[in-house]
Amino acid sequence: MDDILSGAGTMEEALKRQDQLVKLCRAGGFPLKKWAANSPELLENIAEEDRMQAASRAWSPQESTHSTLGLLWNPEKDYFSFASKTPQDRAVTKRSILSQTAQLFDPLGWLAPTIIYAKITIQSTWLLGLDWDDPLLERETTLWRQFQTELPLLADLKIPRALAKGSASSLRTLHGFADASERAYAAVIYLKSREEDQDPVITLIAAKSKVAPVKQVTLPRLELCAAMLLARLVSHSVKVLNLHELPAYLWTDSMMTLGWIQGHPSRWKTYVANRVAEIQRLAPEARWNHLPGSCNPADCASRGLLPSALVNHELWWKGSPFLHEPTSLMIKSPAATPEECGVEQRVNTMTATTSAAPEEHPLLTKFSILNKLLRVTAWCRRWLPERCHGKAAGAPNPERNRCRPLTAMELDEAEKLWIRWNQKIYFRKEISLISASSRLPSKSSLSGLNPSLDQEGLLRVGVRIKHAPLQFDEKHPVILPPQSNFTKLVIEACHRRSLHGALS
């Protein structure tokens, strides 16, 4: 088993927890052998040989520390510090940069501004296209040498172990900050504890940073990624530290990010919608607010800082200046959704493909009954020859034709006239190909009907049931275009003839 680190708010709770740890470890068959505590009372019941021997720092012999979970812990003053090795003097290559960066162990992200500086440098070496052991260019080498020289300064950092929990009457709030640059994005959270008539105490809890993708991503989207990173960090820290009852205030300097988070995910495009949905799920009760970029401590971890700048950086270690102000002056209402958010607005489009329908004959739209259309058409066909030929020799007798009723043949011819007219209008290409004995294209609406032209020029369904004991019209139905008003009149006439039977 590795190190076990525990604590409590009072001495009674600490002794009780110590007893629980001893029993738990003994039950598992691995009793604790090395004990260290920030209070001598906790070590009174521990044998001398089971106490951890403090290791003195060579550069500071008066302060003894213990290695705890990869960090150095000073039990007497109860603070954490970092161990830093003197970098080796060797050529600056992609391999050496990666090796040096991997040695910076920072489990809680307290060194995020410095580590992101190293990670950005690693990404830059990849973009240069150099091999693992190729030396960097002079400018990049100079910058990395400066970074290496300043690394030992990190050993001067002293980070209090205990959080600012305060008393039962103290006002405690959780504050998280998110920010992004073109090279990286980051999140950091603080715990604020304020007693009455006392200055608030701000404690850095944890931070997280990530290098921006090599593939170009817009800055507003990176700001949204930073907000999502903050939501994940807050959700994890609240669970681990049991801070569920504390109000959480989350801050960003991006108005577009605030606008996206305030809206429902369905409003935005997929990239934004997925991240907004996760933010709202992880931190449903968090209050998002806007702050100026100059007051955003996450800006340090999104742009990177050299070790010399990080050691005494007030904004990073103590948080934004307004955290030290009264609550009434600190909280700001979120701004309205800016118009710029519309660039990620989901657009619901309806696409309809229409083809220009052929113009209907005036008579087809004038009559609503098929029989009336056919009778008018038949009378016109009978009347036209009289107008053309007059009383010439051999011409029909007008008086006799005017009194003679229409015959079934005349009505049938009128119907065929309209069928031919509609087929030529709607199936002009198909008729042309069939007349030329060519095959219809597969995309044609008639390709599955195997159409053919009869002796009267009517387009009919091809042979499928040629041996059936049916009439010619039944075996080879006439093809009518569904868009034509004439087809609707035919269907309605059949419906009436069947005494309003089913149309299917």
pLDDT tens for each residue of 391-418: 444 445 555 566 688 888 989 999 999 9
Which backbone phi and psi does 492 adopt, to 5 degrees?
A: -65, -35
The confidence band for 350, taking pLDDT boundaries of 50, 70 and 90, is: low
304 with 166, same domain: the answer is yes
**pLDDT score at 191:** 92
pLDDT digits (tens, 9 = 90+) for 208-266: 999 999 888 899 999 999 999 999 999 999 999 888 889 999 999 999 999 999 888 88
Average confidence (pLDDT) over 136-163: 88
Q: Is residue 502 part of a domain?
A: no
Judge if 44 and 117 occupy the same domain.
Answer: no
Residue 335: pLDDT above 80? no
Task: Look at residue 58 in the predicted model and tell me its pLDDT.
Answer: 45
pLDDT tens digit string along 462-502?
866 667 778 877 788 888 888 888 888 888 888 888 876 66
Most confident among 6-10, 42-46, 55-59, 485-489 (mean pLDDT)? 485-489
Max avg pLDDT among 117-121, 366-370, 397-401: 117-121
pLDDT at 331 over 60: no
- 503 pLDDT band, cuts 50/70/90, is low
Total structural domains within the chain: 2
Does the residue 161 lie in any domain?
A: yes
Beta strands in 408-483 (DSSP E): 452-453, 459-460
Percent of the chain residues past pLDDT 70, beyond the cut: 80
The 10s digit of each residue's pLDDT in 280-290 is 999 998 999 99
Query: Is there a single domain that holds both residue 182 and residue 156?
Result: yes
Instruction: Please give the average per-residue pLDDT across 383-393, as a whole number.
Output: 56
Averaged pLDDT of the chain = 81
Q: Are residues 111 and 159 in the same domain?
A: yes
Structure confidence at residue 452 (pLDDT): 85
Q: For position 263, what pLDDT does the model report? A: 87
- Residue percentage of the chain with pLDDT more than 90: 24
476, part of any domain: no
Shared domain check, 18 and 135: no
Residues 79 and 178 in one domain: no
* Domain co-membership, 89 together with 32: no
What is the CB neighbour count within 10 angstroms for residue 32? 15
Both 238 and 266 in a single domain? Answer: yes
- Regarding whether 295 and 218 lie in a shared domain, the answer is yes
| Structure-model confidence comparison of residues 63 and 364, the more confident one | 364
Residues 142-164, mean pLDDT to the nearest whole number? 87
pLDDT at 387: 55
- Rounded Cα–Cα distance for residues 239 and 71 (Å): 23
Phi-psi region of 84 (alpha: psi -120 to 50; beta: other; left: phi over 0): beta
Nearest to 487 by CA among 418, 394, 424: 418
Measure the CA–CA gap between 451 and 427, rounded to whole angstroms.
Answer: 11
Helix ranges restricted to H, 2-49:
11-27
The whole-number pLDDT of residue 326 equals 66
pTM of the model: 0.64
Q: Say whether pLDDT at 360 is over 80.
A: no
CA distance 490 to 385: 27
Distance between CA 250 and CA 268 in Å, rounded?
21
Q: Is there a domain that residue 41 lies in?
A: yes
pLDDT digits 0-9 by tens, 55-79 = 544 444 445 666 766 688 887 787 8
- 15-19, 46-50, 193-197: least confident range: 46-50
Q: Which domain holds residue 14?
A: 1-83
Query: Which residue among 54, 83, 112 closes a domain?
Result: 83
Q: What count of residues does the chain have?
A: 504
In a domain? residue 9: yes
CA–CA dist 478, 423 (Å, integer)? 10
pLDDT tops 50 at residue 41: yes
Q: 296 and 165, same structural domain? A: yes
Given this model, what pLDDT does residue 445 score? 83
Q: What is the pLDDT of residue 61?
A: 41
Whether residue 30 has pLDDT greater than 70: no
3-state percent helix, strand, coil for the chain, nearest multiple of 5? 45, 15, 40
Would you say residue 314 lies in a domain? yes
pLDDT bin (cut points 50, 70, 90) of residue 328 is very low
In this prediction, residue 315 carries a pLDDT of 94
Question: Is the same domain home to 10 and 133?
Answer: no
Q: Which residue has the higher pLDDT, 334 or 217?
A: 217
- Residue 349's identity, in one-letter code, is T
Domain boundary, last residue among 324, 349, 374: 349
| Token pair in block for residue 304 | 């990177």
pLDDT attached to residue 357:
60
Residue 147 has pLDDT above 60, yes or no: yes
Highest mean pLDDT, choosing among 89-93, 239-243, 301-305, 356-360: 301-305
CATH value at residue 301:
3.30.420.10
Choose the final residue of a domain: 32, 55, 83.
Answer: 83
On whether residue 447 sits in a domain, the answer given is no
Contact 460, 451 (CB under 8 A): yes
In this structure, is residue 426 part of a structural domain?
A: no
Is 73 in the same domain as 135? no
pLDDT at 199 over 70: yes
Q: Which range, of 174-188, 243-257, 364-378, 381-395, averages the lowest pLDDT?
A: 381-395
* pLDDT given for residue 309 in this prediction: 93
pLDDT in tens, 402-458: 668 888 898 999 999 999 998 888 888 888 888 888 888 888 888 788 888 888 888
Residue 332 confidence class, pLDDT cut points 50, 70, 90:
low
Name the band, by pLDDT with cuts 50, 70 and 90, for residue 167.
low
